[in-house]
A and B are shown apart, each in its own frame.
Chain A
Amino acid sequence: MRFTLNGRPVSFEGAGSRRLLDVLREDLHQTGTKEGCGEGECGACSVLIDGEVVNSCLVAAGQVEGCDVTTVEGLATNGGLSPLQRAFIERGAAQCGICTPGMLLAAHVLLQRMRRPSADDVREGLAGNLCRCTGYTKIIEAVLSCAT
Chain B
Amino acid sequence: MGGGAEVLERSVHQLVPNLAFGDAISQQALTLRRILRALGARSEIFAEHVDAQLHGEARPYRQLRDEARDGTVALYHFSIGSEVTDLYRLLPNPRILVYHNITPPEFFRGVNAEVARLCARGREELRALRAHCTLALADSEFNRQELAALGFEHTAVLPILLDPERYRVRPVRRLERPYRDGHVNFLHVGRLVPNKRIEDVLKVFYFYRRRINPDSRLFLVGIDTDMEIYSVALRQMIHDLGLSGVAFAGRVSQRELVTYYRLAHVYLCMSEHEGFCVPLVEAMHFGVPIIAYAAGAVPETLGDAGALVLRKDFAEIAELAAMVCEDPTLREALAARGRARAREFLPEAVTPLLERLLGSV
Whether both chains belong to one complex is answered with no
A-side interface residues toward B, CB under 8 Å? Answer: none
